[in-house]
Structure 1
Amino acid sequence: MTDPVFVFGSNLQGRHGKGAALWAVQHRGAIPGCGGGRQGNAYGIPTKRTPWETLPLNEVHCHVLVFLGYARAHPDLQFQVTPIGCGLAGFTPAQIAPMFRDAPPNCILPDEFRAVLE
C-alpha cells in the first residue's frame, strides 16, 4: 500500500523551509519553488503569500476548495491533511476546519479539525 498524499500548508513562492512544508520536501517529493498543488506524493495548499505574509482567510478558502476538487477527482488516492494554516500562518483550527466540512471520504483530517467539526 502506498502512503497517502501528504497535504501541507505552503506559501505562494514555494519556499518550503519550515514545518510540514519542509517535511514534505524531505520525505514526500514536494518541489521547492512550487507554491501549491500536487508535488510528488504531497499536495501544497497555500496559506501564506510569502514565508512572512499570511494570506487572508478567504484566499486560503479558495485554495482549500481547489484541493477538495482535486481530492474528489482522485477517489483512488488517500489524502493525509495536516492542520494547514495552524502553525506558521497563525490561524486556529476553528478558522480552518470549517473549510473542510464537505471533504470527501478519501481525506484524512487531523484531530484538531475533526474536534471542531464534530
Structure 2
Amino acid sequence: MTYHYHDETIIKNLPDDTIFVFGSNMAGTHQGGAAKTALLHFGATKGVGRGWAGQSFAIPTMNEHLQQMPLSQIQHYIEDFKIYTKNHPKMKYFITAVGCGVAGYKVEEIAPMFKGISRNVIFPVSFRPFVEKTLPKLTQKLVHTFIQDSVIFSDNPSETIQTLNLTEAEKSLATIVINTPMYPEDSNGRDRTFEISDILQALNGKIFEFQSNSEGPMIFGGVILALMELYQFNERDFIELWNGEKTIAPPKPEHHAKR
C-alpha cells in the first residue's frame, strides 16, 4: 500500500481536516518535542495524555510517571488509533515520529506497528521503509553514495539526500541512518563514544584514514554505528560491503519484534 509522507520539519498549522498525531505521556504534561507543538498549536490539553483534543490526537508512549512504556503497550494504543482513523475516514492524520523522541524508541521498532492502517494518514518519511516496503539491500554503491562528508556534514542532510541518485527506499534509509542520534549520546541517553571509537579503530587504515577521534570522525562513526545496528552486522561486514565484496540483506521482520 502507498501512503503520503511528510519531511518531518516542524509545523505550526495544518488544514482544518487534518489532525496532528503525537506521542505523549499519560500525565499529559506535553512539555517537549511534538507534544509541546501539539499543546501550543493544535489544541492538545494539559492532563489529557490519550486520544483526541482540539486538532490533535495523543498516542501514549510513556506512563504517568514519565517512564518509557513497553512496546507491547504502545502497540495497544496504536491499534486503538487505527480503529479511530477507520471510523473517521473524512479526516486526515499527520503522524509524527511517535515514541522516537523522548520515549527513546527507534523508528524500526515503532513504524511497523502502523502497518495496515487506513490510507487517510500522512507518515513521517522515516517510516516509509517499514510501513510500505522492506528496507533496501545494502550495496557498495548505496553506502558510497550517502556515507560521505558532503552528505553527513551538509547544512541540511535530509535535503541533500533527496538530490542523490537513489531510489525512494534508499533515500528513506539514508535519512533514517544520518538522523539517528548516536554521538555523543543516543536517543536513550546512552554514551556511545567507546563503541564509535572501536568502530573507527577497526576501519582506520582499511577503508578510511582518520586523524583522531575528534568530533568530525566521531559523528561519521556514529552514522556507521546506526547503520550497523539497523542491519545487525559488524565492522568486518562493513569493510567487505564498502569494498564491494558482499551485499547485506535487510533484517527479517522478527528482528523488530516487541520487547
Residue 45 (str. 1) matches residue 21 (str. 2): no
Q: Deviations over 1:50-72 (max 9, x none)?
A: 36300000000000000110010
Deviation at 1:35, TM superposition (A): 1.0
Deviates more, 1:104-113 or 1:70-79: 104-113
Residues in 2 aligned to 1:51 and 1:18: alpha-carbon distance in whole angstroms: 15
Q: Residue type of the partner of 1:17?
A: Q
* Alignment equivalent of 1:68, drawn from 78, 82, 101: 82
Secondary structure of 1:109's partner?
strand
Higher relative contact order (CA 8 A, sep 6+): 1
Which TM-score applies when normalising by structure 1?
A: 0.95
CA contact (8 A) 1:45 1:84 kept: yes
* Alignment equivalent of 1:12, drawn from 21, 26, 32: 26
Q: Deviations over 1:59-118 (max 9, x none)?
A: 000000001100100000000000100000000110001110111000111111112232
Which TM-score applies when normalising by structure 2?
A: 0.44
* Alignment equivalent of 2:44, drawn from 19, 25, 30: 30
Higher strand share: 1
1:109 aligned residue: 123
CA contact (8 A) 2:17 2:91 kept: no
CA contact (8 A) 1:15 1:51 kept: no
Between structure 1 and structure 2, the one with the greater Rg is 2
1:58 aligned residue: 72
> Any runs of at least 4 consecutive aligned residues in structure 1 with deviations exceeding 6 A, and if so which?
none
Secondary structure of 2:94's partner?
strand
State the aligned residue count: 118
Residues in 2 aligned to 1:41 and 1:52: alpha-carbon distance in whole angstroms: 23
Residues in 2 aligned to 1:61 and 1:111: alpha-carbon distance in whole angstroms: 20
1:95 aligned residue: 109
Deviates more, 1:47-56 or 1:11-20: 47-56
Q: Residue type of the partner of 2:75?
A: H
Higher helix share: 2
CA contact (8 A) 2:27 2:66 kept: no
CA RMSD of aligned residues (A): 1.2
Residues in 1 aligned to 2:22 and 2:65: alpha-carbon distance in whole angstroms: 14
Residues in 2 aligned to 1:91 and 1:14: alpha-carbon distance in whole angstroms: 19
Residues in 1 aligned to 2:53 and 2:83: alpha-carbon distance in whole angstroms: 16
Instruction: Identify unmatched segments of 5+ residues in structure 2.
Output: 1-14, 134-259
Residues in 1 aligned to 2:39 and 2:66: alpha-carbon distance in whole angstroms: 19
Instruction: Identify unmatched segments of 5+ residues in structure 1.
Output: none
